[in-house]
């Protein structure tokens, strides 16, 4: 479907087959591992479930319509990002990673990539940016998780390309309805579909997207040979969930705007970040680059003990990791070894009624 359609129309129809009387809108999952082969010519499209599956292809087509590129789905977001790194990088290469991005990627670089002879440089999402001369791959994450800094994708991609580097963008936080990195200069997109993309807290999923056939071929071969594929039922659940993405994001963004505005009035809250606030350091870049701001707010309550009291008192905010789901959740990132202050909290706004959420946050903060 043409991307000139509205977001709601796109997500409802993305990846669906042509209508056939008597058939469902979205066919059920195909669970086969082996398929019948032509005894003369061998496999055509479906031969074996690890390299290919019709339910997975339908999901990849749907996400591809939203990202504006071809997609390869993986079992998790981490599987997708490690596949990208290991299929592109070789011993002696240098990769630039966000110093304030998802900490597991940095841990992977400091362990596995280092042992394979890959050098890592860490760069803040909001800059300043070093020279990318001699860098093979620049990985950007914007808005960064969990600090929510934003970088100018077109500008940084141009700098990287001038130096001969490839650019990949982690689009997990924004989703393709928030921004399309491929249209802003990125060579590849990687994301966790576990978060807002599927949004029901019941699927682990990742994907890599791009328009460079050679790069995608490397990623495809890596996936086929290492086997990090999502199951058919997970793919079907994810495709089903895409249809409500526009509606879910709209409510989450509305709630985040209200929550950020409310938290800005609290003297007992520090370090507030939401790129949709005019006072946020990333507001200007986000307003120019993003089609919508995600429903995630970060702030600091000063101590782990105060966070615990806040979460224990709240009736609507669940203590949970991950983000982008239907329910409002909060995650004290330091408990996972992330290099954030002990009272730092990433709040993921769900789709509850805004007045109810604000009332609950007020009561919980007052009690804490």
Measured in whole angstroms, the distance separating CA 287 from the mean position of its chain's CA atoms is 19
Does 2 have pLDDT greater than 70? no
**Residue ranges per domain, the chain?**
7-242, 245-367
Q: What pLDDT score does 337 carry?
A: 84
Average pLDDT score, the chain: 96
Give the Cα separation of 222 and 219 in Å (integer): 5
Compute the chain's Rg from CA coordinates: 21
Q: Could you report the per-residue pLDDT of 151-183, keeping only the tens digit for each?
A: 999 999 999 999 999 999 999 999 999 999 999
The answer to whether residues 259 and 357 touch, using CB atoms and an 8 Å cutoff, is yes
Please tell us whether the domain made up of 7-242 is placed in CATH 3.40.50.970.
no
Percent of the chain with pLDDT over 70: 99
Q: Which residues pair with 119 in a beta bridge?
A: 94
Instruction: Note the pLDDT of residue 4.
Output: 79
Residue 117: the pLDDT is 98
**Range 107-127 average pLDDT:** 97
pLDDT digits over 56-96, tens only? 999 999 999 999 999 999 999 999 999 999 999 999 999 99
Separation between Cα atoms, residue 368 and residue 364, nearest integer Å? 6
Cα atoms in the 13 Å half-sphere on the side-chain side of 277: 24
For residue 273, pLDDT beyond 70: yes
With a cut of 90, say whether residue 272 has pLDDT above it: yes
CATH topology assigned to domain 245-367: 3.90.1150
Q: Dig out the tokens for 266 from the structure.
A: 């609290």
Q: What is the pLDDT of residue 3?
A: 61
Confidence check: pLDDT of 341 > 70:
yes
pLDDT, tens digit (0-9, with 9 covering 90-100), for 30-52: 999 999 999 998 877 888 999 99
Q: pTM for the full model?
A: 0.96
Question: H or E stretch including 62?
Answer: helix 54-67
Which of residues 43 and 365 earns the better pLDDT score?
Answer: 365
Task: Using the predicted structure, report yes or no on whether residue 325 has a pLDDT greater than 70.
Answer: yes
């Amino acid at each position: 479907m043409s991307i000139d359609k509205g977001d709601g129309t796109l997500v409802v129809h993305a990846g669906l087959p042509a209508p056939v009387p008597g058939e469902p809108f979205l066919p059920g999952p195909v669970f086969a591992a082996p398929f019948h082969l032509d005894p003369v010519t061998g496999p055509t499209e479906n031969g074996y479930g690890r390299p290919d599956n019709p339910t997975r292809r339908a999901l990849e087509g749907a996400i591809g319509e939203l990202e504006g590129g071809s997609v390869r789905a993986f079992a998790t977001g981490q599987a997708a990002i490690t596949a990208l790194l290991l299929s592109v990088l070789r011993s002696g290469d240098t990769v630039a990673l966000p110093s304030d991005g998802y900490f597991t990627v940095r841990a992977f670089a400091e362990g596995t990539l280092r042992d394979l002879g890959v050098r890592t440089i860490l760069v803040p999402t909001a800059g300043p940016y070093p020279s990318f001369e001699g860098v093979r791959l620049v990985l950007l994450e914007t808005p960064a998780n969990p600090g929510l800094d934003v970088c100018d994708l077109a500008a940084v991609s141009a700098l990287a390309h001038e130096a001969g580097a490839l650019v990949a963008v982690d689009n997990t936080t924004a989703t393709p309805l928030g921004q399309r990195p491929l249209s802003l200069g990125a060579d590849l997109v990687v994301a966790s579909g576990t978060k807002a993309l599927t949004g029901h807290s019941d699927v682990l999923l990742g994907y890599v997207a791009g328009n460079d056939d050679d790069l995608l071929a490397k990623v495809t071969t890596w996936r086929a040979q290492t086997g990090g594929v999502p199951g058919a039922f997970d793919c079907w659940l994810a495709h089903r969930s895409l249809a409500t993405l526009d509606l879910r994001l709209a409510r989450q963004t509305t709630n985040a705007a209200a929550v950020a505005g409310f938290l800005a009035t609290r003297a007992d809250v520090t370090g507030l970040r939401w790129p949709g606030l005019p006072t946020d350091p990333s507001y200007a870049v986000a307003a120019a680059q993003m089609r919508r701001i995600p429903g995630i707010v970060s702030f600091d309550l000063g101590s782990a003990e105060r966070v615990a009291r806040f979460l224990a008192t709240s009736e609507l905010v669940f203590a949970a990791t991950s983000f982008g789901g239907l329910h409002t959740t909060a995650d004290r990132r330091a408990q996972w070894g992330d290099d954030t202050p002990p009272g730092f909290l990433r709040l993921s706004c769900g789709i509850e009624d805004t007045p109810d959420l604000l009332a609950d946050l007020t009561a919980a903060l007052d009690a804490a």
